[in-house]
Amino acid sequence: MPPHAGTGLGARRREACETGFCGANAGETRPMDLSEDAFRFADDLGPAKIIHVHEPSLGLKGTLVVDNVATGPSIGGLRMAPDVSTEECFRLARAMTLKNAAAGLAHGGGKSVLYGDPGMPLERKEQLVRAMACALADVRDYIFGPDMGTDEVCMAWVKAEIGRAVGLPREVGGIPLDELGATGFGLRAVCEEAARYCDLELAGARVAVQGFGSVGMHAARFLSQRGAVLVAASDSRGAISDPNGLDVAALMELKASGRSVSEHPTGKPLDREALIGVDCEIWIPAARPDVIHEGNMKHLKAKLVASGANIPMTAGAERHLHEQGVLCVPDFIANAGGVICAAMEYHGASQAAAFEAIEEKIRENTDRVLRASRERGVLPRQAAVELSTERVRRAMSYRRWSIF
Q: Which is nearer to ligand NAD, 46 or 77 (by Cβ)? A: 77
Task: Decide: is 286 part of the binding site for ligand NAD (CB under 6 A).
Answer: yes
Taking CB under 6 A as the criterion, the residue among 97, 150, 241, 335 binding ligand NAD is 335
Cα separation of 85 and 112, whole Å? 10
CA pair distance 35, 25, nearest whole angstrom = 20
236 is an interface residue for ligand NAD by CB under 6 A: yes
Q: Which has the closest alpha carbon to 297: 269, 336, 270, 324?
A: 324
Nearer to ligand NAD, 13 or 94 (CB): 94
Q: What is the CA radius of gyration of the chain?
A: 22
Cβ closest to ligand NAD, residue 102 vs residue 403: 102
Least Cβ distance, residue 369 to ligand NAD (angstroms): 17
Q: Which residues touch 395 (CB under 8 Å, ≥6 apart)?
A: 70, 71, 101
Contact residues for 51 (Cβ-Cβ < 8 A; gap 6+): 63, 64, 66, 136, 139
344/181 Cα distance (integer angstroms):
15
Annotated catalytic residue, options 49, 61, 99, 111: 111
Question: Which residue from 124, 288, 298, 299 is in contact with ligand NAD, where contact means CB under 6 A?
Answer: 288
CB of 300 to ligand NAD, least distance (A): 15
Give me the 171-210 binding string for ligand NAD, x by CB under 6 A, dash otherwise: ------xx----x--------------------------x
Question: Does position 101 bind ligand NAD by CB under 6 A?
Answer: no
Is 111 in the active site? yes
Contact stretch for ligand NAD (CB under 6 A) within 13-21, 111-119, 296-304, 306-314:
306-314
Q: How many residues does the chain have?
A: 404
Closest contact distance (angstroms) between CB of 177 and ligand NAD is 6
Q: Which is nearer to ligand NAD, 207 or 286 (CB)?
A: 286
Contact range with ligand NAD by CB under 6 A, out of 7-15, 50-58, 228-236, 361-369: 228-236
In degrees and rounded to multiples of 5, residue 134 shows phi and psi of: -65, -40
Nearer to ligand NAD, 311 or 321 (CB): 311
How would DSSP label each residue in 185-234? HHHHHHHHHHHTTTT--STT-EEEEE-TTHHHHHHHHHHHTTT-EEEEEE
To ligand NAD, the closest distance from the beta carbon of 25 in angstroms equals 47
SS3 of 6, please? Answer: coil
If you ran DSSP here, which 8-state letter would residue 237 be given? Answer: T
Is 284 a binder of ligand NAD (CB under 6 A)?
no
- Which one, 161 or 331, has the nearer CB to ligand NAD? 331
Angle between helices 182-195 and 337-346 (to 10 degrees): 130
The secondary structure of 304-369 as a DSSP string is: EEE--SSS-B-HHHHHHHHHTT-EEE-HHHHTTHHHHHHHHHHTT--HHHHHHHHHHHHHHHHHHH
| Candidate residues 212, 222, 283, 355; the one interacting with ligand NAD per rule CB under 6 A | 212
Regarding 310 and contact with ligand NAD (CB under 6 A), the answer is: yes
Q: What amino acid positions are annotated as catalytic residues?
A: 111
Q: Which residues bind ligand NAD (CB under 6 A)?
A: 177-178, 183, 210-216, 234-236, 272, 286-288, 308-310, 335, 338
